[in-house]
Amino acid sequence: MVPRWRSGSAGSALGLPAWGAATGPRGLAPYASRPEWSRGRRVPEALAPDRNAFQRDRDRIVHSTAFRRLVYKTQVFLNHEGDLFRTRLTHSLEVAQLARSMARGLGLHEDLVEALALAHDLGHTPFGHAGQDALDACMKNHGGFEHNLQSLRVVDVLEQRYPDFDGLNLSFETREGILKHCSLRVARHMESLEPHGVAHRFVAGYQPSLEAQLCNLADEIAYNAHDVDDGVRSGLITLDQLMGLRLVRRFHDEAVREHPGLPAMGRRRLLSEVLRRMLSAQVHDLMGTTGARLARARPADAEQARQGSALVGFSPAMRADITELKRFLFRALYRHAQVQRQTQRGKVVVHDLFEAYVQRPSEMPAEYAQRPDTHRAVADYVAGMTDRFALREHERLTGQRVFP
């Protein structure tokens, strides 16, 4: 059988509009991913009567254990530092909201972007990037650790909820979109296990689906905005510092011009309004830039849209402004001594836990303790932990309290 996902003329065969028509059935553009053309699941399953394949993926993600754990995982600020800071869960919800509204505007498949957004951080360790760096160092001689690969591992292997398969048995398009980046060495290894699989594009050099491209940028829009918000809330960065950035200054001035009374209403409200305008501007820029590129490239279907350079993106001017903001956040927030001090402690916790479980695997639940690949089992177990569970386990195993 000719795989349907390869067929460039399948659109007309199925009565879908030629390019030119703005959108097809249910508002989908010709270049949107379509669940009915899905390359399917690793373990074949009957179609659900009431949901398309991507909706079913999204539902499985929302009901997974890894998804619930995101609520107690660090984004930038450690989970116990304050109740109002973003966690991985609220971050993922913000990404999903942004990605869905942009997908709707561009005629892309909303259910696929929603599934991808909700799953994109499932593989993150406790204590944010510090936790991942520590775990990667621990796994140096055992294949390393990378949170993005781990997200795929969570949905492919680690979730254990169904009688017929390990993992969530998601459709190919969702699994492929979850694998955002991958070294050539790892991609070749994955290809040897799953030929023409989710890592194929890294070997053959083509783009991820438009839905996956959109999710990556929605992730960026979301964290740039909420890290500014959380950064100011924490007191580590100030609005005055932010005024040195083009993006902030422009929307601050615009907001004050339209609402002269705004500065007197408090800094919180002023910042929220500036961030809201910044976010909208990035969304509109992305939609305009992407729409223009799509109109020029006129991809006949989702597969053709993946050839050549990425079609989803910002204008060069917006990209430059976003880069300026990111550099600032890196310098002033992520590298701030106070954030570093906390994340350094997170690293110690991850490192100590890893050592303790490798020496005494029986301290882990049986399904991890009994695995023959001890180091990978420990990495999977530690990576799945929430911040506070990791701290409890650390205290239990070492008798130390790292965070006073």
Residue in the block written with tokens 């905005």 = 225
Rounded to the nearest whole angstrom, what is the least distance from the CB of residue 325 to Mg ion in the complex?
16
Query: Is the Cβ of residue 220 or residue 324 nearer to Mg ion in the bound state?
Result: 220
Contacts of 83 (CB under 8 A, 6+ apart): none
Of 176 and 303, which has the nearer Cβ to Mg ion?
A: 176
CB of 91 to Mg ion, least distance (A): 6
Segment interacting with Mg ion, rule: CB under 5 A, options 117-125, 228-236, 258-266, 322-330: 117-125
Structure tokens at 194: 């799953």
Neighbours of 367 (CB within 10 A): 12
CB nearer to Mg ion: pick between 38 and 148: 148
The pair of three-digit structure tokens given for residue 146, joined into one six-digit string: 């990378």
Q: Determine the interface stretch with Mg ion among 60-68, 116-124, 144-152, 259-267 (rule: CB under 5 A).
A: 116-124
Our CB check for Mg ion shows the closer of 219 and 380 to be: 219
Question: x-or-dash pattern for Mg ion, window 365-404, by CB under 5 A?
Answer: ----------------------------------------
Could you tell me the smallest distance in angstroms from the CB atom of residue 101 to Mg ion?
Answer: 17
Using CB under 5 A as the binding rule, whether residue 219 contacts Mg ion is answered as yes
Query: Interface mask (CB under 5 A) for Mg ion, residues 71-110, using x and -?
Result: ----------------------------------------
- Quick one: 90 or 398, whose CB is closer to Mg ion? 90
Minimum CB distance to Mg ion, residue 188 (Å): 26
Q: Please report how close the Cβ of residue 59 comes to Mg ion at its closest, in angstroms.
A: 21
Residue 230 in contact with Mg ion, rule: CB under 5 A:
no
Please, are residues 211 and 106 in contact by the beta-carbon 8 Å criterion? no
d(CA 120, CA 340): 24
Rounded Cα gap, residues 355 and 360, in angstroms: 9
Alpha-carbon distance of 368 to 361, in angstroms, equals 8
CA nearest to 358, candidates 344, 386, 379:
379
User: Does residue number 111 form part of the binding site for Mg ion (CB under 5 A)?
Assistant: no
Maximum separation of any 2 CA atoms in the chain, in Å: 68
Nearer to Mg ion, 91 or 347 (CB): 91
Q: Give the number of other Cβ atoms within 10 Å of residue 264's Cβ.
A: 8
Nearest approach in angstroms of CB 152 to Mg ion is 15
Shortest spacing between CB 279 and Mg ion, in angstroms: 15
Stretch that binds Mg ion, among 115-123, 153-161, 196-204, 311-319 (CB under 5 A): 115-123
Choose one: 118-126, 188-196, 205-213, 268-276; the region binding Mg ion (CB under 5 A). 118-126
Q: Which of the ranges 113-121, 300-308, 328-336, 346-354 carries the binding residues for Mg ion, by CB under 5 A?
A: 113-121
Spatial CB neighbours of 207, under 8 Å, sequence gap ≥ 6:
201, 213, 305, 306, 307, 308, 309, 310, 311
Q: Minimum CB separation from Mg ion for residue 308, in Å?
A: 26
CB 126 within 8 Å of CB 94: no
* Separation CA 230–CA 233 (nearest Å): 5
- Residue (121 or 173) nearer to Mg ion, CB: 121
Residue (121 or 387) nearer to Mg ion, CB: 121
Binding mask 177-216 for Mg ion (x = CB under 5 A): ----------------------------------------
Q: What tokens appear for 148 in the block?
A: 């993005």
Residue 285 CA from chain centroid, whole number: 21
Q: How far is the CB of 120 from Mg ion (least distance, A)?
A: 5
Measured from the CB atom, is 224 or 342 closer to Mg ion? Answer: 224
* CA 130 to chain centroid: 17
DSSP letter string over 75-101? SSS-GGG-SSS-BHHHHHHHHHHHHHH
How many residues touch Mg ion under the rule CB under 5 A: the total is 2
> Cα–Cα distance between 252 and 186 in angstroms, integer?
45
Evaluate whether 182 touches 199 at the Cβ level (below 8 Å).
Answer: yes
CB of 390 to Mg ion, least distance (A): 20
Those residues whose C-beta lies under 8 Å from the C-beta of residue 226, and which sit 6 or more positions away, are: 75, 86, 91, 94
Minimal distance in Å, beta carbon 121 to Mg ion? 5
Q: What is the contact surface with Mg ion in residues (CB under 5 A)?
A: 121, 219
